[in-house]
């Protein structure tokens, strides 16, 4: 019964979407296509058995009353040895899944599970939303900016963002107070790029839900070259209709058309029925030429959580890959990967040609997918992808849940990795997959939930971080 209701609602979404304007292309959104069968799956890119290397626990990180949502935030290389460190956070929720305004301390471990000791005091935040890794002070060592959005419910007060800067390899300092503007801005997403061509990485901050107590619209952080950032309002850089808070969920900065100038991508929010857009940069900090990208198969009820710029078919033209969620009995549900091929500068939806079918029967079960990341997992030189999601990679059997790892055949066509590659037992040990590097090899990290069963369901304390190498 439940199955048929879900299928009907999915059909109606597709029908409605087909009637809507599609500003980015001549035809409507690509159909979802049938979901893959077991015969479509390919073997994993390397032989692995997951190994749990670390456990986080909110009771020891500042919020004993929390039943948090754990997150693997980023995998920077903080000591420059070619092996990633792993940054983890806990989003503050109570045992009734209500957001609470109590920060927990971030955790950084080495790839062997030992704590990263290069920073004396790790920052605490209520809800760290997205991290950006970059060398902001140009010393050759990764630094970390974290867009923190604070309490995840009304009145959405926001909270201070985080900046960890290197002081030589293997030493970092929390400069969130000294090197960033002091604003509670409800930062929902961020990206780094040298928007003004002066040689240093600047940061785009995309805000949501009123822009926090600061009422901040989307803005830029301009780097002085040493990792000290000054606030510059969005209107100084982009068209007026790209500036208001809540219109976009996050953004990317990359030179899409390879003219040497960094361009901006903004990921549309279904709250505003806002499509994703591409804004071409002039290399001097302005992004005035605007292209609206084609809608996903979820239509105007699409919440795009990530956009990557990557030449998937290696023809020299950079293509766009969007990670989309929809409204299936609640927003941020479902999973749709959208491939926009760069065809002489036009971005054309070729998802059904390049990807497996995505007409999953259980879209309402799929909780938010945050990120899609490209990396060469099987070492053939072509970029493969991994989706970071709250979902485990599979429930009980292949096909239960969306494949979250795609292997590139070298021509930009992706095959789904068999869902039990990472976890042959029950599938719940591989959530939140992110690429990392160990000894020069691209591998994956993920986690299972750490907690205990109670009368009211599973009480989460934190995560068991697992390395798949
Ligand atoms: Ca640095
Ligand atoms: Ca710059
Ligand atoms: Ca450009
Ligand atoms: Ca291409």
Please spell the DSSP secondary structure of 140-209, one letter per residue.
Answer: SS-EEEEEE---SSTT------EEEEESSTT-EEE-TTTSS------EEEEEEE-TTSSSS-EEEEEE-G
Q: List residues, by chain if needed, whose CB lies under 5 Å from ion ligand 1.
A: 135, 137, 139, 141, 143, 166
Using the mean position of ligand 2's atoms as its centre, give its distance from the Cα of residue 283 in Å: 10
**Which ligand is in closest contact with the Cα of 283?**
3
Q: List residues, by chain if needed, whose CB lies under 5 Å from ion ligand 2.
A: 194, 196, 198, 200, 202
Average pLDDT over residues 136-158: 97
Using the mean position of ligand 4's atoms as its centre, give its distance from the Cα of residue 254 in Å: 14
Using the mean position of ligand 4's atoms as its centre, give its distance from the Cα of residue 314 in Å: 5
Alpha helices in 351-459 (DSSP H): 351-354
Average pLDDT over residues 284-304: 97
The answer to whether 237 and 286 are in contact (CB under 8 A) is yes
CA distance 61 to 66: 10
CA distance 434 to 228: 29
pLDDT of residue 17: 33
CA 268 → CA 149, 305, 340, 390, distances in Å?
Answer: 18, 8, 15, 20
Using the mean position of ligand 2's atoms as its centre, give its distance from the Cα of residue 442 in Å: 29
Q: In angstroms, how far is CA 141 from the centroid of its own chain? A: 22
**Which ligand is in closest contact with the Cα of 318?**
4
Using the mean position of ligand 4's atoms as its centre, give its distance from the Cα of residue 72 in Å: 30
- What does pLDDT average to over the chain? 91
Using the mean position of ligand 4's atoms as its centre, give its distance from the Cα of residue 248 in Å: 25
**Which ligand is in closest contact with the Cα of 313?**
4
pLDDT of residue 399: 59
pLDDT of residue 403: 79
Is the pLDDT at 5 greater than 80? The verdict is no
More confident: 433 or 28: 433
Edge to edge, the sheet with strand 143-148 lists 128-134, 143-148, 162-166, 172-174
Average pLDDT over residues 199-220: 97
pLDDT-based confidence at 359, cuts 50/70/90?
confident
Task: Give residue-wise pLDDT tens across range 42-80.
Answer: 999 999 989 999 999 999 999 999 999 999 999 999 999
Full-model pTM: 0.93
Give the three-state DSSP class for 131.
Answer: strand
């Amino acid at each position: 019964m439940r199955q048929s209701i879900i299928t009907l609602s999915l059909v109606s979404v597709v029908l409605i979407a087909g009637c809507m304007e599609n500003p980015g292309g001549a035809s409507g959104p690509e159909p979802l296509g049938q979901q893959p069968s077991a015969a479509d799956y390919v073997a994993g890119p390397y032989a692995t058995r997951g190994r749990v290397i670390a456990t986080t626990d909110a009771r020891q990180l500042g919020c004993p009353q929390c039943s948090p949502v754990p997150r693997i935030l980023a995998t920077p290389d903080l000591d420059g040895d070619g092996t990633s460190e792993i940054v983890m956070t806990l989003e503050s929720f109570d045992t009734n899944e209500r957001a609470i305004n109590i920060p927990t301390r971030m955790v950084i471990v080495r790839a062997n599970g030992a704590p990263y000791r290069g920073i004396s005091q790790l920052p605490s935040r209520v809800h760290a939303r997205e991290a950006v890794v970059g060398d902001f002070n140009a010393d050759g060592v990764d630094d970390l900016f974290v867009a923190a959005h604070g309490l995840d419910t009304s009145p959405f007060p926001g909270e201070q963002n985080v900046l960890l800067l290197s002081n030589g390899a293997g030493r970092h300092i929390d400069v969130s107070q000294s090197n960033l503007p002091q604003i509670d801005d409800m930062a929902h997403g961020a990206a780094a790029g040298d928007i003004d061509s002066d040689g240093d990485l600047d940061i785009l901050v995309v805000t949501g839900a009123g822009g926090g107590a600061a009422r901040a619209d989307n803005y830029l952080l301009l780097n002085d070259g040493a990792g000290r950032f000054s606030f510059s309002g969005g209107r100084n850089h982009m068209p007026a209709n790209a500036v208001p808070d809540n219109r976009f969920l996050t953004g990317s900065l990359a030179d899409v058309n390879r003219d040497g100038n960094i361009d901006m991508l903004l990921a549309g929010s279904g709250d505003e029925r806002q499509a994703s857009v591409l804004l071409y940069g002039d290399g001097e900090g302005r992004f005035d030429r605007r292209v609206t990208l084609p809608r996903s198969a979820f239509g105007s009820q699409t919440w795009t959580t990530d956009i990557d710029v990557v030449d998937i078919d290696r023809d020299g033209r950079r293509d766009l890959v969007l990670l989309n969620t929809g409204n299936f009995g609640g927003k941020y549900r479902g999973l749709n990967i959208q491939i926009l091929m760069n065809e002489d500068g036009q971005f054309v939806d070729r998802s059904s040609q390049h990807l497996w079918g995505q007409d999953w029967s259980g879209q309402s079960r799929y909780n938010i997918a945050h990120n899609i990341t490209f990396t060469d997992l099987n070492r053939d030189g072509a970029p493969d992808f991994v989706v970071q999601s709250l979902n485990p990679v599979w429930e009980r059997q292949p096909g239960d849940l969306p494949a979250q790892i795609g292997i590139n055949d070298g021509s930009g066509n992706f095959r789904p990795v068999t869902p039990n590659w990472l976890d042959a037992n029950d599938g719940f040990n591989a959530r939140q997959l992110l690429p990392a590097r160990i000894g020069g090899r691209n591998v994956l990290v993920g986690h299972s939930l750490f907690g205990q069963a109670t009368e009211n369901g599973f009480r989460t304390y934190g995560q068991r971080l697992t390395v798949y190498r």
